[in-house]
Amino acid sequence: MRGYPSQHSDETRARGAALLALIGAVVLVLGVGCARRAPEGARVETTVYVARRIRTLDEKRPEAEALAVRRGQLVAVGTKAEVLKAAGEGARVVDYGNAVVVPGLVDAHAHIAGLGRSLTVARLEEARSVEDVVRRLGEAPSTSFQGDWLIGKGWDQNGWPGKEFPGRAELDARFPKTPVYLTRVDHHAAWVNGEALRRAGITRETPDPAGGRILRDAKGEPTGVLVDNAMDLVTRVVPAPTDEQLEARLAAALERCAQVGLTGVHDAGMDLRTFRKLQAWDMAGRLPVRVYAMADGQGEDRHTYLELGTYGGRMLEMKAVKFLLDGALGSRGAALHEPYSDAPKETGLLLMEPRELEARTWAFMERGFQVCIHAIGDRANTLVVDTLIRAAAGTGTQPLRHRVEHAQILRPEDIQKLGAAGLVASVQPTHATSDMGWAEARLGAERLKGAYAWKSLKEAGAVLALGSDFPIENPDVLAGLYAARTRQDAAGKPEGGWQPQERLSGEEALEGFTVGPAWASFAEARRGRLMEGMDADFTVLSVDPVLDEPRKLVDAKVVATVVDGREVYRAP
């Protein structure tokens, strides 16, 4: 990997090298710790797990004291005495004491490669000003570089004085010859310096691409901020990560997923290179958590995915495709029917023409793919709901459980239409608590009634599959359970919750991270509940996410994560 430019200190170099070495060690741990199931005929140990409470989500037996696991499956669920008897003599017993066991928690919308990248590049979350960002970049580890490009992520101008988009001047002063590429917290805008613009060939004469916007100053010069499809003008000239970098990033991300209690992740738009790497790891028995991958239907990889068709491995599946129709609310890229309340001349961006969206939707549906479409703004959601309903009827693929990813801002009639069609609403609770401080300024009070409307979607008939959208949000699933139940930040504000009528109950929130993702990935017969014959995927928590006060989730801990009968994480 390329070393630091001259302005970085030896101390920072050492810190980066140590980080890369640590991540490389994670790769080895994953390779050693994730063995396949024992072959048929081999002696197989039965393990009995005991806890204060086992919340099964099985209507016939919602609670239990113990469960027995053999060959990666649940062979008994019930009282401790019942399970020990069913397990037979010689069973190994694991007692989790006062902890609570729940079905394996699954993030229904996330980005594994993005999380790995965010764990290794310059971290800009919580930066409070442009100056703070520049300071952090000066201290960035060597893992932040792709080639000689300095990469960072997570800036958010909404937390800065004035809340204005930044410019390139401060970056140019600190990094005059090093190209800098920094993605916004929502990954729908990038902030770059003059050297990055020069290498990408972006000048005042460069037109805005379809579905994108180059922000410009009063003289027409690019400011350094690129929104949505305009980001592609720069990313196409950024060197790809090396094989070493990619492996280290993926390993770090998967390890992090296990640590936060996730037994599975729905990856929302996987590039072909990442898919091939995870496919090889799956064949070698090296995946610690299950991955339900959506093919990247936005870029050129889509042609290969269409040719290959769907894929089913042991821990990795690809039965879905992901499209993006609009941008994000924070960067005013979400496509709205009416102008933004705080920007009367802007209505957001469509990243794909409706005809192209329909054509791609039909093509993938006819190849047997579940179609999942990103829609934030109310105009985008109208187009997505109508497109999915029309195409599913035309191709006869309603059973493929097509999905609206985010379903963030909807008109009341579209909420009802989405639910009546039986579409999956793949929503992210922590988006609401992250956005609540400024969302009304963007939308106004009336449109806010249909924003982050989880309860309304559920009552309309939609299947809720909850996620985080990491690395845009933290992968901590406990934070998602808390936000779903309270619609409050970690400090308990606002009192009573933001738009409290859309809160979910404790059981609804838990189902959203278990039963919902299982249904949304065609796995409801094997996962999502703890019942005999189902896969032994479960998460062990220090609190009961249903009965305990929601506030306890803020300080709760993941005790253990068990996937396919293997404990892939145990708290120290």
What per-residue confidence (pLDDT) applies to 44? 67
Distance CA 193, CA 173 (A): 9
Distance CA 154, CA 160 (A): 13
Q: Which two tokens stand for residue 14?
A: 């050492």
What per-residue confidence (pLDDT) applies to 470? 97
Instruction: Report helix angle 112-120 to 10-33, nearest 10.
Output: 150
Q: Would you call 356 helix, strand, or coil by DSSP?
A: helix
Q: Would you call 381 helix, strand, or coil by DSSP?
A: helix
SS3 track for 179-197: CEEEEECCCCEEEECHHHH
What per-residue confidence (pLDDT) applies to 319? 98
CA distances from 546 to 431, 504, 543 (A): 21, 11, 9
Cα 256 vs. chain centroid, distance in angstroms?
Answer: 13
Angle CA 431–126–493, to nearest 5: 50
N-to-C CA span, the chain: 32
For the stretch 372-408, pLDDT in tens is 999 999 999 999 999 999 999 999 999 999 999 999 9
Contact 463, 422 (CB under 8 A): yes
CA distances from 115 to 248, 271, 378 (A): 11, 14, 28
Q: Would you call 490 helix, strand, or coil by DSSP?
A: coil
Cα 546 vs. chain centroid, distance in angstroms?
Answer: 23
Q: Which two tokens stand for residue 50?
A: 């005991």
- Print pLDDT tens along the chain (572 aa): 223 233 333 333 334 444 444 444 444 344 433 434 445 545 568 999 999 999 999 999 999 999 999 999 999 999 999 999 999 999 999 999 999 999 999 999 999 999 999 999 999 988 999 999 999 999 998 999 999 999 999 899 988 998 899 999 999 999 999 999 999 988 889 999 999 999 999 999 999 999 999 999 999 999 999 999 999 999 999 999 999 999 999 999 999 999 999 999 999 999 999 999 999 999 999 999 999 999 999 999 999 999 999 999 999 999 999 999 999 999 899 999 999 999 999 999 999 999 999 999 999 999 999 999 999 999 999 999 999 999 999 999 999 999 999 999 999 999 999 999 999 999 999 999 999 999 999 999 999 999 999 999 999 999 999 999 999 999 999 999 999 999 999 999 999 999 999 999 999 999 999 999 999 999 999 999 999 999 999 999 999 999 999 999 999 999 999 999 999 999 99
Name the phi and psi angles at 372, rounded to 5. -120, 125
Contact 265, 253 (CB under 8 A): no
SS3 content of the chain, % helix, strand, coil (to 5): 35, 25, 40
Residue 547: CB atoms within 10 A of its CB come to 12
Distance CA 431, CA 469 (A): 8
Contact 553, 524 (CB under 8 A): no
List, as own/partner pairs, every contact residues 364-367 make where C-beta atoms lie below 8 angstroms and the sequence separation is at least 24, other chains included.
364/297, 364/306, 364/321, 365/391, 365/392, 365/395, 365/397, 365/400, 365/402, 366/395, 366/397, 367/306, 367/309, 367/310
Q: Would you call 446 helix, strand, or coil by DSSP?
A: helix
| Helix or strand holding residue 448 (H, E) | helix 439-448
What per-residue confidence (pLDDT) applies to 126? 85
Q: Which residues are CB-contacts of 527 (< 8 A; sequence separation ≥ 6)?
A: 103, 104, 106, 264, 514, 518, 534, 535, 537
One-letter amino acid for residue 70 of the chain: R
Residue 358: CB atoms within 10 A of its CB come to 18
Q: Is residue 59 classed exposed, middle or buried when 0-12, 13-18 and 19+ CB atoms within 10 A define those classes?
A: exposed
Q: Which residues are CB-contacts of 397 (< 8 A; sequence separation ≥ 6)?
A: 365, 366, 368, 391
> What residue ranges in 450-516 does DSSP mark as E strands?
463-466
> What residue ranges in 307-364 does DSSP mark as E strands?
311-312, 316-324
Cα 347 vs. chain centroid, distance in angstroms?
Answer: 26
CA distances from 237 to 149, 162, 180, 439 (A): 10, 32, 12, 34
Residue 144: CB atoms within 10 A of its CB come to 24
Q: Which of 244, 230, 297 is nearest to 267 (CA)?
A: 297
